[in-house]
């Protein structure tokens, strides 16, 4: 069973005083010191409904991270559905727009594969997904122009279809453009996330009413940290995005792609779900979801509102994002009521997103191989991994000494254990997270 972290636990674990004490611990307590922040681990609960089926159907055929595929699919579906369904929070109307920002290392993140995989299913719906796709965010005016209102019936440059999906494989470039003096891009992005009319005072013709734009960004953690300025974070441009850390899920030297029959089947289900969602209007809680939200989730996802760490600035909109995702799950079933199941699935993705922000903005020196090993050990739960399985994660290309050092560092940290089990012959050895039931560290 996967070890869960909720948002409150993450906040406690990254308390400033606690971390300072940990990094100044007595060397005798651990020769290698504390480990850097662990990578996020997916809770299967997030893979709900037809989008969960999409992820499961695609997974054997791609090295893409399932969470990246899910986040990209949520963004694409939300855009295709259009402006009709929305979630109401107080007096604020939330369109079902999801803006995932996929963080992955240059060589192993498979960010593009995640979005590409989600998009082949969107094209299969037959609902004109390709017609609403674009790339190349350069200015606020450029975004408006893509979906601007027509000046007249003869104006072929405008459009009444305000749906848009912008995929930015080089999001660092977008960040650089947004920082330029006089750029309206940050302001327009904030308006677009809210679904507000887009306009700039300097160009009266540039106006887009009822915009419905989703943005999917790709960036490496290092690029993001280099580009990020505190003023940008505080301004709220980047907390409109849902941070999602991704890694290569497996090694497939010659991936075959999704089976055509499976692709057609999922595409047909998505077609029906998206059309049904387009008939839904305001989405509210059912009694079970209301109790779950008021009793647990609201406090969890607003716990960091008064904190000022970089990662808490990046997750300020966790609560409304949870409602948007839950509303999208409900709408795809043609429902105007969010159930406890919808909310639970959405909350699992939000927790993963918060953990992604913590991981990405942790500036500790990192060992990518060690990060990958920790993530797989956490995902393995009670079962753990044998040394042979650990070696297989790296295609058995890591030298024995380097592998021994990584495993020793995990055990010394106290967060993981080397577990031996008598077999009547040579004892079986596995590595587990220390919270795994029944684990007993070696002496």
Backbone angles phi, psi at 133, to 5 degrees: -95, 145
pLDDT tens column, 397-410: 888 888 888 888 88
On the question of pLDDT at 80 being above 70, the answer is yes
Kindly tell me the burial class for residue 170, based on how many C-beta atoms sit within 10 Å of its own C-beta (0-12, 13-18, 19 or more): middle
- Per-residue pLDDT band at 217 (split at 50, 70, 90): very high
On the question of pLDDT at 41 being above 80, the answer is yes
So what's the pLDDT on residue 440? Answer: 41
pLDDT tens column, 90-127: 888 999 999 999 999 887 778 999 999 999 999 999 99
On the question of pLDDT at 27 being above 70, the answer is no
- Per-residue pLDDT band at 383 (split at 50, 70, 90): confident
Per CATH, the number for 7-30+33-361 is 3.40.50
- Per-residue pLDDT band at 295 (split at 50, 70, 90): very high
So what's the pLDDT on residue 370? Answer: 83
The domain segmentation of the chain, as residue ranges, is 7-30+33-361, 368-433
So what's the pLDDT on residue 19? Answer: 39
Min mean pLDDT across 65-79, 126-140, 243-257, 270-284 is at: 243-257
Q: What is the Cα–Cα distance from 370 to 407, expressed in whole angstroms?
A: 9
On the question of pLDDT at 32 being above 80, the answer is no
SS (H, E, C) the chain: CCCCCCHHHHHHHCCHHHHHHHHCCCHHHCCCCCCCCCCCCCCHHHCCHHHHHHHHHHHHHCCCCHHHHHHHHHHHHHHHHCCCCEEEECCEEEECCCCEEEECCCCCCCHHHHHHHHHHHHHHCCCCHHHHEECCCCCHHHHHHHCCCCCCCCCCCCCCCCEEEEEECCHHHHHHHHHCCCCCHHHHHHHHHHCCCEEECCEEEEEECCCEEEEEEEECHHHHHHHCCHHHHHHCCHHHCEEEECCCCCCCCCCCCCCHHHHHHHHHHHHHHHHHHCCCCEEEECHHHHHHHHHHHHHHHCCCCCCCCHHHHHCCCHHHHHHHHHHHHHHCCCCCEECHHHHHHHHHHHHHHHHHHHHHHCCCCCCHHHHHHHHHHHHHHHHCEEHHHHHHHCCCCCCHHHHHHHHHHHHHHCCEEEEEECCCCCCEEEEEECCCCCCCCCC
- Per-residue pLDDT band at 441 (split at 50, 70, 90): very low
Higher-scoring residue by pLDDT: 228, 233 = 228
Predicted structure pTM score? 0.83
Do residues 386 and 420 touch, judged by C-beta distance below 8 A?
no
On the question of pLDDT at 25 being above 70, the answer is no
Backbone angles phi, psi at 207, to 5 degrees: -150, 135
pLDDT tens column, 340-367: 999 999 999 999 999 999 999 876 656 7
CATH classification number, 368-433, choose in 1.10.10.10, 1.10.1060.10, 3.40.50.2000, 1.10.3720.10: 1.10.10.10
pLDDT tens column, 127-139: 999 999 999 998 9
pLDDT tens column, 141-187: 999 999 999 887 777 778 999 999 999 999 999 998 888 878 889 88
């Amino acid at each position: 069973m996967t070890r869960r972290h909720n948002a409150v636990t993450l906040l406690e674990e990254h308390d400033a005083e606690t971390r300072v004490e940990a990094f100044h611990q007595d060397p005798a307590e651990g020769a290698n010191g504390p480990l850097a922040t662990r990578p996020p681990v997916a809770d299967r609960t997030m893979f709900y409904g037809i989008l969960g089926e999409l992820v499961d159907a695609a997974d054997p055929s791609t090295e893409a991270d399932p969470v990246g595929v899910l986040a990209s699919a949520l963004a694409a579906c939300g855009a295709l559905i259009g402006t009709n369904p929305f979630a109401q929070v107080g007096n604020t109307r939330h369109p079902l727009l999801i803006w995932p920002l996929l963080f992955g290392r240059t060589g192993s993140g498979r960010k593009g594969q995640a979005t590409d995989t989600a998009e082949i299913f969107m094209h299969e719906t037959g609902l004109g997904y390709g017609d609403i796709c674009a790339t190349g965010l350069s200015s606020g005016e450029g975004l408006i122009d893509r979906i601007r209102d027509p000046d007249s019936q003869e104006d072929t440059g405008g459009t009444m279809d305000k749906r848009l999906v912008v995929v930015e494989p080089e999001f660092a470039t977008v960040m650089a453009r947004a920082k330029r003096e006089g750029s309206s891009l940050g302001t327009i992005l904030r308006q677009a996330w809210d679904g507000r009319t887009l306009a700039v005072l300097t160009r009266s013709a540039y106006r887009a009413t009822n915009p419905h734009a989703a943005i999917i960004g790709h960036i490496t953690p290092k690029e993001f940290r280099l580009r990020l300025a505190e003023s940008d974070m505080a301004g709220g441009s980047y907390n409109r995005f849902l941070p999602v850390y991704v890694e290569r899920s497996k090694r497939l030297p010659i991936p075959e792609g999704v089976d055509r029959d499976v692709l057609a089947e999922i595409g047909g289900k998505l077609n029906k779900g998206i059309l049904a969602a387009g008939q839904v209007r305001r989405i509210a809680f059912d009694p079970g979801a209301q109790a779950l939200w008021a009793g647990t989730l609201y406090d969890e996802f607003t716990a960091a509102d008064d904190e000022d760490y970089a990662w808490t600035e990046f997750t300020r909109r966790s609560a409304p994002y949870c409602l948007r995702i839950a509303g999208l799950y409900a709408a795809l079933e043609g429902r105007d009521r969010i159930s406890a199941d919808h909310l639970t699935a959405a909350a699992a993705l939000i927790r993963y997103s918060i953990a992604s922000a913590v991981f990405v903005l942790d500036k500790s020196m990192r060992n990518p191989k060690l990060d990958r090993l920790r993530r797989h050990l956490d995902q393995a739960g009670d079962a753990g991994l044998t040394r042979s399985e650990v070696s297989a994660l790296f295609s058995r290309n890591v030298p024995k000494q380097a592998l021994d050092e990584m495993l020793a560092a995990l055990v010394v940290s106290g967060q993981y254990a080397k577990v031996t089990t008598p077999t009547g012959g040579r004892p079986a050895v596995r590595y587990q997270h220390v919270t795994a039931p029944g684990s007993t560290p070696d002496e």
